[in-house]
């Protein structure tokens, strides 16, 4: 998740706690080549961080101002549902994000509703809000069944969507999943990573640099990976120790689509979370949404700037593609002054099956190139093409930018060698065609993208490509079970 800036013109300070904010601020003040003026602005900013934490109890004790408030409203153009899993180290950022939403507020064009799982002191609570301009209204105060829910339980997701869709009907729906995430691979949920731990302040650029010597999954890897459940890590709940697995997420979305959307799709499903812009994730979501928005890279704790995200609705309504493009543009505006290590992309899922078929063809042909290779030549070429120094990868280096990978392999086809020349010529011709198609389809389906300077060739869709072994959780994903990419990975890794 992302973090707020203290002074965008001097540096943007990202923090996962008040203590980290103060430490980083002191570092900047100490290392700045010239005095920072006015210093009072930075002190006030740090005090504001403390104030946000103090406001946690205040925002979560707002009473329902109207007992009839949650009666079914007239349909608007949009209802935006925020599923905020903040019963963890991100709780202060959740409060700030909800306050950002309230600067815009629901209006004649849209409803802003929030499901919030959070901890107040030692007490786990669940709050549901209808967000008006400068007014955050609690709407579940009199509902005992929603006072303490588990953000890692699919029934909570279903209940949240049912509440939003039935009480705030609209022509278009967006659902935002807000929390930690680990992409398609499941770590041991006993340890949640703080993204700020992966960044260091660069006094030369006044930006935060991602330390790529620390691999994301290695940082949180359990001692025995065989004990890791084969699921996706999304929406962590510290009180229960649960999170949304890929099976849980798929189940919840299936029920929501069937029972409450009446077979229709969400216009947008978005992940304000780390590492979720992957082919494997898009495969999971494509049946339930027209567009998916996510980041290939880790995000810092403050997440999106929701005041800017929701701003288009002040003047009117927008279509889903325009909204998706706007969200990506806002992310760039927010994070380009802060770090060179950021990404966000929006993908058209209506035709995503085209890219999946293309990946399948590429995988089959690469597998044949390995089987028919002379010596170990082709394996070594592919290995060089996927190397993190040659191909755009992310803080989890087994997640590669698929577009960049295809370009790299295509550029090296002339160096492939085969036991039989004629067979090799056929395979190379077919593979070149398949790679061209994969590249073109990626460019077609990614309707908006942004990336920092350090990730300039990231095109918006990652794919899993390990160098040592396939994580046990990957082989149980839907994508691995119906796409031959997993077969290619198996053959690639079996070769010495």
Domains and CATH numbers, the chain: 59-187+219-349 (3.40.50.11970), 353-494 (no CATH)
Burial 239-270 (b: 16+ CB within 10 A, else e): bbebbbbbbbbbbbbebbbeebeeeebbbbbb
CA distances from residue 28 to 21, 45, 49, 203 in whole angstroms, order as listed: 11, 14, 17, 7
Dihedral sign for Cα 264, 267, 273, 274, please.
positive
**111 C-beta neighbours (distance < 10 Å), count:** 23
Q: Which pLDDT score is estimated for 26?
A: 37
Q: Which pLDDT score is estimated for 314?
A: 96
Q: Are 435 and 362 in contact (CB under 8 A)?
A: yes
pTM above 0.75, yes or no: yes
DSSP label of 264: -
Provide the Cα torsion 181, 3, 177, 449; round to 10°. -90
Provide the Cα torsion 143, 144, 150, 151; round to 10°. 10
Q: Are 77 and 317 in contact (CB under 8 A)?
A: yes
Token output for 419: 């036991």
Alpha carbons 377 and 396: distance in angstroms, whole number: 27
Dihedral sign for Cα 285, 260, 254, 244, please.
positive
Token output for 366: 């690469």
Alpha carbons 30 and 25: distance in angstroms, whole number: 9
Q: What is the pLDDT along the chain (496 residues), one digit of tens a residue?
A: 333 222 223 223 333 333 334 334 333 333 333 333 333 333 333 344 344 445 555 555 454 444 345 556 678 999 999 999 888 878 888 899 999 999 999 999 999 999 999 888 788 889 999 999 999 999 988 788 888 888 889 999 999 999 999 999 999 999 999 988 888 886 654 445 555 555 555 556 655 655 555 555 554 444 334 333 333 467 766 777 777 878 889 999 999 999 999 999 999 999 999 899 999 999 999 999 999 999 999 888 888 999 999 999 999 999 999 999 999 999 999 999 988 999 999 999 999 999 999 999 999 999 999 999 999 999 999 999 999 999 999 988 999 999 999 999 999 999 999 999 999 999 999 999 999 999 999 999 999 999 999 999 999 999 999 998 898 888 888 999 999 999 999 999 998 6
What is the full DSSP assignment across 43-105? HHHHHHHHHHHHHHHHHTTPPPS-TTTTSPPPPEEEEEEEEEEESSTTHHHHHHHHHHHHHH-
As a whole number of angstroms, the longest Cα–Cα distance in the chain is 78
Alpha carbons 416 and 317: distance in angstroms, whole number: 53
Alpha carbons 360 and 438: distance in angstroms, whole number: 10
Provide the Cα torsion 347, 338, 194, 216; round to 10°. 60
CA distances from residue 244 to 45, 160, 285, 291, 324 in whole angstroms, order as listed: 34, 14, 14, 20, 24
Q: Which pLDDT score is estimated for 38?
A: 32
How many H-runs (helices) and E-runs (strands) does the chain carry? 15, 15
């Amino acid at each position: 998740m992302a973090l707020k800036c203290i002074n965008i013109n001097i540096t943007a300070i990202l923090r996962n706690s008040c203590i980290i904010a103060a430490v980083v601020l002191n570092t900047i003040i100490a290392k700045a080549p010239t005095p920072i003026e006015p210093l009072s602005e930075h002190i006030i900013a740090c005090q504001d961080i403390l104030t946000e934490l103090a406001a946690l109890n205040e925002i979560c004790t707002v009473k329902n101002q109207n007992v009839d408030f949650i009666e079914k409203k007239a349909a608007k153009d949009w209802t935006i549902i925020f599923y905020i899993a903040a019963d963890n180290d991100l709780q202060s950022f959740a409060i700030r994000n909800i306050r950002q939403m309230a600067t815009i507020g629901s209006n004649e064009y849209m409803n802003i509703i929030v499901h919030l799982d959070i901890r107040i002191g030692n007490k786990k609570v669940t709050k549901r809000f209808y967000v008006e301009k400068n007014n955050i209204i609690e709407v579940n105060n009199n509902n005992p069944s929603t006072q303490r829910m588990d953000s890692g339980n699919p029934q909570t997701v279903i209940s949240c969507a049912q509440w939003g869709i039935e009480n705030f009907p609209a022509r278009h729906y967006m659902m935002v999943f807000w929390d930690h995430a680990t992409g398609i691979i499941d770590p041991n949920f006993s340890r949640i990573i703080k993204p700020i731990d992966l960044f260091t302040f660069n006094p030369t650029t006044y930006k935060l640099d991602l330390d790529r010597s620390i691999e994301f999954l290695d940082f949180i890897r359990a001692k025995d990976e065989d004990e890791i459940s084969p699921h996706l890590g999304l929406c962590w709940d510290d009180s229960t120790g649960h999170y949304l697995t890929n099976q849980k997420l798929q189940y919840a979305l299936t029920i929501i689509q069937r029972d409450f959307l009446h077979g229709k799709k969400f216009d947008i499903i978005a992940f304000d979370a780390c590492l979720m812009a992957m082919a494997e994730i898009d495969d999971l979501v494509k049946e339930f949404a027209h567009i998916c928005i996510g980041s290939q890279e880790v995000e810092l704790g403050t997440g999106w700037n929701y005041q800017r995200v929701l701003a288009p609705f002040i003047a009117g309504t927008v279509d889903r593609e325009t909204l998706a493009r706007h969200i990506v543009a806002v992310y760039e505006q927010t994070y380009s002054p802060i770090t060179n290590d950021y990404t966000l992309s929006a993908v058209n899922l209506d035709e995503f099956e085209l890219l999946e078929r293309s990946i399948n063809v590429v995988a089959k042909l690469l597998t044949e190139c390995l089987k028919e290779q002379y010596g170990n030549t082709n394996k070594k070429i592919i290995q060089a093409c996927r190397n993190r120094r040659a191909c755009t990868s992310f803080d989890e280096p087994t997640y590669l930018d698929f577009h960049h990978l295809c370009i790299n392999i295509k550029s090296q086809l002339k160096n492939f060698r085969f036991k039989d020349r004629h067979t090799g010529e056929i395979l190379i011709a077919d593979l070149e065609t398949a790679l061209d198609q994969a590249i073109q389809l990626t460019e077609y389906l990614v309707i908006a993208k942004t990336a920092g300077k350090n990730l300039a060739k990231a095109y918006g869709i990652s794919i899993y490509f390990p160098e040592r072994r396939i994580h046990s959780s990957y082989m149980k994903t839907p994508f691995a079970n119906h796409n031959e990419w997993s077969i290619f990975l198996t053959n690639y890794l079996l070769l010495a």
